[in-house]
């Protein structure tokens, strides 16, 4: 893990957007298509907006979610909605987006239906992650009874999860897919998350799911 601190969030957003653009461009120079996995939450929005204006071959980029709440794409909780509103505009509107939610299916049925199509995007070329104060990442939550399956080395490419205390069920890329990304970036803001990350480095993935994906990850932090 490489930890990089920025003087403020604006500096971080500008630098991380540029870094992600550079990694996408180098992946594009060696591949016909590349995959870019992105999280939900409140952190990535400004990075998405800066990226969306970046001049690169977005028509050769497949945008995936790291996880999704099991709600319709118009629901305010939807990560697909977040990505459509903040990333898939301007130049990035040309990217191919692979949503996970399937109306009328349960999270388990939906994960089973979508997982086979994700194989073509593996390993993920470039991935951005966020993290909660509880050391969750994507939808790998400590204490979630379904976490064990999503941490397994042979977990399916998309896993249903039912994290306690969350308003909806979710689906998530499993730990081995997240950790297998060729380029891993984590953005966290604030002292709470910085302390949580330090704790996570001493804990198991069951206690701190983020610890399953920290090897080789570029971590960017601002207060
Ligand atoms: O669907 C989600 O919510 C995200 O994928 C999740 O893993 C997020 O990255 C963290 O919860 C941090 O969220 P914030 O950026 O809002 O702190």
Q: Is the distance from the beta carbon of residue 66 to the nearest atom of ligand 1 less than 6 Å?
A: yes
Which pLDDT value is given to residue 53? Answer: 98
Nearest to 179 by CA among 211, 135, 156, 154: 211
CA of 220 to the centre of ligand 1 (A): 15
Please report which helix (H) or strand (E) contains residue 63, including its range.
strand 61-65
Q: What is the pTM of this model?
A: 0.98
Q: Is the distance from the beta carbon of residue 146 to the nearest atom of ligand 1 less than 6 Å?
A: no
84-121 pLDDT, tens per residue? 999 999 999 999 999 999 999 999 999 999 999 999 99
Which residue ranges in the chain fall short of pLDDT 50? none
Q: Is the distance from the beta carbon of residue 179 to the nearest atom of ligand 1 less than 6 Å?
A: no
Ligand 1 atom having least distance to the Cα of 42: 16
Ligand 1 atom having least distance to the Cα of 44: 15
CA of 67 to the centre of ligand 1 (A): 9
Is 60 in contact with 33 (CB distance < 8 Å)?
yes
Token readout for 89 is 């505009």
Which pLDDT value is given to residue 206? Answer: 98
CA of 55 to the centre of ligand 1 (A): 27
Is 36 in contact with 61 (CB distance < 8 Å)?
yes
In 3-state terms, what secondary structure has residue 2?
A: strand
CA of 113 to the centre of ligand 1 (A): 24
ipTM, 2 decimals?
0.98
CA of 29 to the centre of ligand 1 (A): 30
């Amino acid at each position: 893990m490489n930890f990089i601190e920025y003087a403020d969030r604006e500096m971080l957003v500008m630098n991380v957007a540029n870094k992600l653009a550079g990694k996408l461009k180098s992946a594009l120079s060696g591949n016909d298509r590349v995959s870019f996995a992105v999280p939900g939450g409140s952190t990535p929005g400004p990075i998405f907006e800066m990226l969306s204006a970046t001049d690169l071959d977005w028509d050769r980029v497949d945008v995936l979610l790291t996880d999704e709440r099991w709600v319709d794409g118009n629901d305010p909780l939807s990560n697909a909605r977040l990505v459509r509103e903040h990333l898939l505009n301007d130049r990035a509107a040309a990217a191919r987006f692979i949503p996970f939610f399937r109306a009328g299916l349960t999270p388990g049925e939906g994960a089973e239906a979508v997982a086979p199509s994700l194989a073509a995007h593996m390993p993920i070329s470039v991935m951005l992650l966020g993290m909660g104060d509880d050391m969750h990442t994507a939808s790998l939550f400590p204490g979630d009874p379904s976490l064990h399956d999503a941490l397994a080395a042979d977990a399916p490419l998309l896993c249903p999860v039912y994290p306690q205390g969350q308003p909806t069920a979710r689906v998530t890329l499993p730990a081995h897919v997240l950790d297998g990304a060729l380029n891993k970036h984590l953005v966290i803001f604030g002292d709470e998350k910085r302390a949580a990350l330090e704790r996570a480095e001493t804990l198991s993935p069951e206690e701190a799911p983020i610890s399953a994906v920290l090897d080789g990850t570029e971590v960017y932090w601002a207060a």
